[in-house]
A and B are shown apart, each in its own frame.
Chain A
Amino acid sequence: MAKNNFKTLALAAISAITFAACDPGDLGIKRMYHGDGTWTIESLRWQTFDSTGTKTVIDTTQENLGELIFFRSKTTNALFDHYCVVAQMKQADGSFVDNPGEVFFDGVRANMQEDPDGNHNYPDDLEGLWTVTENHRKSQVWTIYANQPNGYLGMKKTLTLKKK
């Protein structure tokens, strides 16, 4: 009886410690290129603010803009951990245009920009240093902020991605 109680307590202790210590860790770019690396651009929201930076003046959202495809291969900017990414943007007629670029992602920040190939043209709306606001296995929310000359918040852009 005492031995069974001890075994039960032991199993409970093992489960508690394993659960408490469970930590998905900082997967970085591996989370983005995992599987086929394809994420749907669910929405891109633009907000502009008044001179106090507190009230929203313009608030627009574009939905289903296309897809981002992350690759395991690094670009020529490998020293700074830049990986290949393609923005497959949906056109008005329903067709898609591929735009290769490069991305840095560490779970806290994401930087997307033109890659060194002069023939490539990455979408301006997706370029910049994003703050990773939400970092989940199947969804991501990234945000970019820009200030007005008076130092108050002027523009906020929010990108929502869903793992395909």
Chain B
Amino acid sequence: MKRTIFSLCFLVTPLFAFSQFSAFLIGGYGMGFSHYQSTELGVFFDSYNAYQKSTGANLTQEFKNDIPTSRGTYWQIGGAIGGPACQAVLTVEVIKTQTKAMSARFDNTYGRDVWCNYRTSNSTVGIRFGNPAKFPVWGQFDMDMGVQMVTINSEYVYSDGSKSIGLDHDLNGRFSNFGFAIGLGAELGVKIYGPVHFVASAHWLPNLNKQHPEYHEFEDLSDWNALRSDYIPRDMNEYVNNPTNSTGNSISNDFRGLRFTAGLQLTLGNYGKE
């Protein structure tokens, strides 16, 4: 206990080393991008490609396990406290992004599109360095903890280009899973005018669990799926022959990678003021 108190004082004291005390609120909004990869989604893609070929279907375009960078928006609120050149920052942010479709096509132009939505709600604890009153650039090191929801959307494409996510095909659906995510990252801010800063950040979310669990992770929890398969399979042969095997044959959530944001941050307080 005494050691913990001493450590906290050791960490916090430098923030107040300067005579001027700095405290401000933070609000941010801008563009978000996620570049995630998933070995498990690749297992589904490979199995889908192999199964279609085994049935004699002419797959002119196969699924490739190269998830496109998603794009969307983020917003954040929070606050900071410390000295004029070093502050402890705590923010809460929500980032929502969507990828473009990954496609498989047959020679009769039918096919399947798969795309992903990511929604991350996390808390960020950071240490910010820099005094915008003297030099308009600052940097911040972050640690994130939060919840990430991944939704895999799977729709069938007809020959006229129209797309269905309905009950006409078993693989159609919106399959979601949410899990705990932690990350490390950094931010770079440039004071534009007054309390407005341009901020760019990069965070890395590692995959902490590389094991495929023997239970159902991605699910399409809709009441119309009560008697249908509501998962994305690892093995298409098993899916077709034994669709009720939703535990052992379901892909798990290993979506992890890099997340970037670029946007505006508003600081309300005495940050960056002489």
Contacts and interface: CB of A to CB of B under 8 A. Distances in A.
Interface of A: 6-7, 10-11, 13-14, 17-18, 20-21, 23, 25-26, 53-54, 77, 80, 82, 104, 106, 108-109, 111, 128-131, 133, 143-147, 153, 156
Nearest to B119: A26
A17 B198 contact: yes
A25 B96 contact: yes
B263 A17 contact: yes
Contacts of A147: 168-169
Interface string B34-76: 0000000000000000000000000000000000000011000
Interface in B139-191: 153, 155-156, 158-160, 162-169, 174
A27 B174 CA distance: 16
A53 B156 CA distance: 14
6 contacts: A21-B73, A21-B263, A104-B222, A108-B174, A109-B166, A145-B156
Contacts of B153: 108
A21 B31 contact: yes
Contact of A153 (B73, B158, B166, B262): B158
A13 B29 CA distance: 13
A131 B223 contact: no
Contacts of B73: 21, 23, 25
Contact of A143 (B164, B193, B198, B224): B164
- The listed residue with most B CB atoms (<10 A of its CB), out of A20, A23, A53, A82, is A23
A80 B223 contact: yes
Given A17-B31, A23-B73, A146 B196 contact: no
B224 A111 contact: yes
Contacts of A143: 162, 164
Given A21-B73, A77-B223, A111-B222, A10 B192 contact: yes
Contacts of A133: 162-163
Contact of A146 (B31, B155, B168): B168
- The listed residue with most B CB atoms (<10 A of its CB), out of A18, A25, A128, A145, is A145
B130 interface: no
B164 A23 contact: no
B101 to A, nearest CB: 13
B159 A53 contact: yes
Contacts of A21: 29-31, 73, 263
A43 B83 CA distance: 64
B240 interface: no
A131 B165 CA distance: 6
B95 to A, nearest CB: 11
B223 A7 contact: no
B221 interface: yes
B116 interface: no
A17 B264 contact: yes
Given A77-B223, A111-B222, A145-B168, A131 B155 contact: yes
Contacts of B262: 17
A52 B202 CA distance: 50
A11 B220 CA distance: 44
Given A17-B263, A21-B31, A145-B164, A7 B193 contact: yes
Contacts of B221: 80
Nearest to B166: A129
Contacts of B168: 145-147
Interface string B247-274: 0000000000000001110000000000
Contacts of B162: 133, 143, 145, 156
Contacts of A145: 156, 158, 162, 164, 166, 168
Contacts of B163: 131, 133
Interface string B191-208: 011001010000000000
A145 B31 CA distance: 36
Nearest to A110: B166
A14 B196 contact: yes
A106 B155 CA distance: 15
Contacts of A10: 192-193, 196
Contacts of A7: 193
